[in-house]
Amino acid sequence: MTYRLYNRVGSGGFVAEAALALADASYELEELDSKPGTPLPDSFRTTNPWRQVPTLVLPDGSTLTETAAILIHIAACFPDKGLAPPPGTSEHAAFLRWMVFTNVNVYEAVLRRSYPSRYTTDPNSIEATQEAAIARMGDALTVLENAIETGPFLLGETMSVADIYIAMLFVWFRGTIDAPRLTALTEGVRRHAVVGPIWRRHFGDR
């Protein structure tokens, strides 16, 4: 029962790799030879028509894309690993809420900042599009900062895949916000015995 993860160093695929490692899943890592912020080769369309990573091929041969969907699926496939709260609980409802919020509002802002030409046809508005994306990302991260009540993680003392996702996006933020809770959450992810080495391979000391 082996997964195949298409990824590239320094990309959002870090979180999928971390989730598979936490699940102790059998997986093959296919690292693409390209840098984040650059288009993947056109030949990759046969694997993912949108040419994005992470792309996860499941053991049955089907393909799963979209970071949040991959994380939710891995957590559901390995319920004994505690990657997310048990389905049907209020904690799981909160987990789903913030996973989708993070994907739609924070990750989307990263893409708008990194690939502004996807979001405007006016070359004179590229800089303004990027500035708006950074501001929007700061607003969304502030919402997440306020959602952390007891800490150190989003849902309390136990780290979930949502925390790994949020930590990655937080260090990608190029603006400035007062976020001591997100800072503590990110430090907890960095120090994690399993996730930490994967983090350093992708992001170094960031």
Indicate if 125 and 54 belong to the same structural domain. Answer: no
Residue pointed to by tokens 């950074």: 134
Express each pLDDT in 46-65 by its tens digit. 999 999 999 999 999 999 99
Confirm whether 202 is domain-assigned. no
Give the Cα separation of 65 and 14 in Å (integer): 14
Confirm whether 28 is domain-assigned. yes
* Count of domains observed in the chain: 2
Confirm whether 97 is domain-assigned. yes
pTM for the full model? 0.95
Q: Which domain holds residue 103?
A: 90-192
Per-residue pLDDT band at 196 (split at 50, 70, 90): very high
What is the amino acid identity at position 30? E
All residues at 6 or more sequence positions from 205 whose CB lies less than 8 Å from its CB, including other chains: none
What is the amino acid identity at position 42? D
Indicate if 111 and 169 belong to the same structural domain. Answer: yes
Indicate if 112 and 22 belong to the same structural domain. Answer: no
Indicate if 24 and 66 belong to the same structural domain. Answer: yes
Give the residue ranges of DSSP H helices in 59-179.
67-77, 90-101, 108-114, 126-147, 161-172
**Average pLDDT estimate for 29-52:** 89
Confirm whether 197 is domain-assigned. no
On average, the pLDDT of the chain sits at: 96
Indicate if 56 and 100 belong to the same structural domain. Answer: no
Give the Cα separation of 194 and 22 in Å (integer): 7
Exposure on the CB side of residue 179, measured as CA atoms within 13 A: 25
Q: Which strand (E) or helix (H) includes residue 64?
A: strand 63-65
Domain-terminating residue out of 58, 81, 104 = 81
CB 34 within 8 A of CB 53: no
Indicate if 58 and 104 belong to the same structural domain. Answer: no
Give the pLDDT of residue 129.
Answer: 97
Express each pLDDT in 80-109 by its tens digit. 999 999 999 999 999 999 999 999 999 999
Residue 177 has pLDDT above 90, yes or no: yes
Confirm whether 201 is domain-assigned. no
Residue 197 has pLDDT above 90, yes or no: yes
Give the pLDDT of residue 141.
Answer: 98
Indicate if 94 and 75 belong to the same structural domain. Answer: no
Confirm whether 177 is domain-assigned. yes
**Average pLDDT estimate for 169-183:** 97
**Can you state the percent helix, strand and coil of the chain, rounding each to 5?**
55, 10, 35
Exposure on the CB side of residue 177, measured as CA atoms within 13 A: 24
Give the pLDDT of residue 33.
Answer: 84
Per-residue pLDDT band at 204 (split at 50, 70, 90): very high
